[in-house]
Structure 1
């Protein structure tokens, strides 16, 4: 059997847009991905539908897999001929144990590549408005582990060198040892008034910061119950934050949104919410299998109704594959939503909304929708694909929901409500408990009715079911108690 290959990939600090192009390409071709807690799970959605996921997450008090087991998995999967990605938060060479994993692969002569990533020690401060170097404030920068594998976890660092010789210091994994850090920096020469900032979940929409000095920051952290994952930054350059802070000024900063998903394709709504500074979890994840279509009679229909952009894409992909000239399809085209109309326009086709359609015997419904079949009982139905819950993602979502603090729920369509509830139940999560006291927003009156019918009584609706209207509504109706 031919030996596979391993890519040791840095996922970046959290914001999915910060992964490298080479790292993303590795994920797309992977057959097995071993991923860490600090690698954004949304990156796994770029993998193929048959890719195997293995969680290697580490918490301060427990490890899902020990490093030796991770090394063994990498070797075993590669020797089985697989393309394997080891996905690590930040950069794999900065406290990522990539040297140990590469050595294990080299021992078995397994080919591998190391793909660098953006380190959280640089990215998290920048998202907090702090460059780690500056000509007037900081000419040197160090990254330091604040926890080692000794019994007490307190690394024997060159405290005098750090205190007197380095302007900006980024400590990784150090919240538990913060008093130890501050005491030693002061003891060896750093002024007690030196600014310190902790950046929690840096570059995520859930990012939080806590600022103090070497003299008082430990007490502040205890009072605020600040925890890992956090970067601790020490240095005078932190003073620039007041002038150039930018991420926290985004209009939806502080929003942690759960978005009900019906599509298997990337959500334009989720993308816009992320651009505006929100943290977005799309749930659930769907797995789609295309069905071979018989299009021999397609030119005989007078009306064709597409139920979703995906159905339209699958239909026209089959048209091309079967070498049917689209000009021979004379039917009047209809769509269930403005999003589906847009998908038709992108193919140079003009359609109308389904509200304008009249039932007809020479009508084709492209897509499986029981409600439509009830309203249009004369029409024929063409199912283009089978869509099922991707259960491999359920434990991933469980972890995501535990680590986030959801404050906003969005239902983009009436069809999104029931599948969302069913999928949450499969995760052993009670939807009403999860969303109790949260802001629930429905995109349109039909969606609101479906949400209320599901038990969400205080559902809100923007002026129109569009991305722009939703963002404006969220900005104009801020959450109470959200830190800005």
Structure 2
């Protein structure tokens, strides 16, 4: 058997767009991914459908897999001839134990690449409006671990050198040791009024900050129960935040959105929401498998007067099948319709003048094209199944963990099919807490979607007249008063 290869990849600090090109390329060809808690799980969406996903995350109070077990598993999978990605938050070489994992691979004669990532000690401050160096505030910068392997976890550092020789210091995961850090820096010469900022979940929309000084930051953090994952940045450079704070001014900053999905394509809506500052959890993760072509339908393709496409994917799959079956598109005489604006757009991009489903006449010979999730809204129509769609169960524990850690405050329902999915696959199966329907703001994209929601007992807080991404963003960015819940 051929030996495989490992890629030890830095996933960046959280914002999925901050991964390197080389890191993304490794994910896209991976056969196995061993990923950490701080690697944004949305990156796993880019992995092949048959990729094995293994969670290696660590929490302050427990380890899912200890480091020695991770090393052994990494070696084992590479020896099986697999392309293995070890996906680590931030940069693997900055407190990421990449040296230990690379050593395990090297000792077994296995090939590996180390792919750097953007470390949180630099990126989290930047997303809080603070560059870590500046000619007027400091020309030296240090990254320091805020805990070590000792019994009490308090690192033995060159406190004198840090306090008097370094302008700006980034402590990683230092919240529990804040009193110890502050005391030692002041004791060894750092002024007690030196500015300090704590940045939790940096580069995410749930980013939280807390400002103070060495003399009071520990008490402030205790008062509000500030927790890791967080960066503690110490230095006069923190004062730049007042002028340069850019990320938290994005229109959707603070929005943690649960977006119901019915398609396998990358969501343009999700991309735009994230661009505007939101965190987006897309549920569920779908995968598709091919099905035998229904040649009986293909043989009478010229007889249909209307063809309704249920998704953009169904448009591409239908055209791909016609080409594979050597059917000239000019044999299709039907008018084309789409169940959504995305479906219509996909048809338009292929050169077809299509309309929305609502404009379709109810008479005439109709063919509905879609995956195995086609509903029976048109009992007299013929159906053409292009593929079988199923939920990727590998992502179920990932969703549970992400929703548990996030504070979802907005739910977006794009279609009636999405409503059915989020209820039957999410809430009934207890992947999504039912309480979210009461505590989060529910936005329905269109009246039909709202009607479907109400059948399941979900009353939308907002129904959009135009079911498109611009309307969604304008709605969420509007300065409406926050909903209050009993």
TM range (shorter): over 0.9
SS of residue paired to 2:34: strand
1:397 to 389, 396, 399: 399
1:241 paired to 2:244: no
Which residue of structure 2 lines up, in the alignment, with residue 79 of structure 1? 79
Change (3 A) 1:478 1:186: farther
**Structure 1 CA distance for aligned equivalents of residues 421 and 364 of structure 2:** 31
- Residues 395 and 427 in structure 1, CA contact (< 8 A), matched pair in contact too: no
Change (3 A) 1:285 1:146: same
Which residue of structure 2 lines up, in the alignment, with residue 230 of structure 1? 230
- What RMSD, in angstroms, separates the aligned Cα atoms of the two structures? 1.8
SS of residue paired to 1:203: coil
**Structure 1 CA distance for aligned equivalents of residues 218 and 475 of structure 2:** 39
Which residue of structure 1 lines up, in the alignment, with residue 314 of structure 2? 311
**Structure 1 CA distance for aligned equivalents of residues 221 and 464 of structure 2:** 38
Q: How far has the Cα of 1:223 moved from its partner?
A: 0.8
**Structure 1 CA distance for aligned equivalents of residues 371 and 169 of structure 2:** 57
**Structure 2 CA distance for aligned equivalents of residues 4 and 261 of structure 1:** 35
**Structure 2 CA distance for aligned equivalents of residues 162 and 453 of structure 1:** 62
**Structure 1 CA distance for aligned equivalents of residues 481 and 290 of structure 2:** 42
Structure 1 portions without partners, runs of 5+: none
Q: How far has the Cα of 1:224 moved from its partner?
A: 1.1
**Structure 1 CA distance for aligned equivalents of residues 74 and 201 of structure 2:** 28
What's the TM-score once normalised by structure 1's chain length? 0.96
- Residues 307 and 366 in structure 2, CA contact (< 8 A), matched pair in contact too: yes
Q: How far has the Cα of 1:431 moved from its partner?
A: 4.1
**Structure 1 CA distance for aligned equivalents of residues 223 and 442 of structure 2:** 31
1:475 paired to 2:473: no
1:13 paired to 2:16: no
Structure 2 portions without partners, runs of 5+: none
Change (3 A) 1:152 1:372: closer
Correspondence list, 1:381-460, <5 A: 381-425=383-427, 428-429=430-431, 431-460=433-462
**Structure 2 CA distance for aligned equivalents of residues 456 and 198 of structure 1:** 38
**Structure 2 CA distance for aligned equivalents of residues 471 and 14 of structure 1:** 22
Change (3 A) 1:370 1:54: closer
Which residue of structure 2 lines up, in the alignment, with residue 332 of structure 1? 335
- Residues 452 and 459 in structure 1, CA contact (< 8 A), matched pair in contact too: no
- Residues 443 and 462 in structure 2, CA contact (< 8 A), matched pair in contact too: yes
- Residues 254 and 278 in structure 1, CA contact (< 8 A), matched pair in contact too: yes
**Structure 2 CA distance for aligned equivalents of residues 332 and 263 of structure 1:** 23
Alpha-carbon displacement from aligned partner over 1:14-57 (angstroms, at most 9, x marks no partner): 00000011100100110100000000000001001111111011
1:351 paired to 2:339: no
**Structure 2 CA distance for aligned equivalents of residues 361 and 440 of structure 1:** 37
1:287 paired to 2:290: no
What's the TM-score once normalised by structure 2's chain length? 0.95
**Structure 2 CA distance for aligned equivalents of residues 292 and 458 of structure 1:** 40
**Structure 1 CA distance for aligned equivalents of residues 239 and 432 of structure 2:** 44
Q: How far has the Cα of 1:60 moved from its partner?
A: 1.4
**Structure 1 CA distance for aligned equivalents of residues 373 and 197 of structure 2:** 55
Which residue of structure 1 lines up, in the alignment, with residue 67 of structure 2? 67
Which residue of structure 2 lines up, in the alignment, with residue 342 of structure 1? 345
Change (3 A) 1:449 1:369: farther
- Residues 170 and 234 in structure 2, CA contact (< 8 A), matched pair in contact too: yes
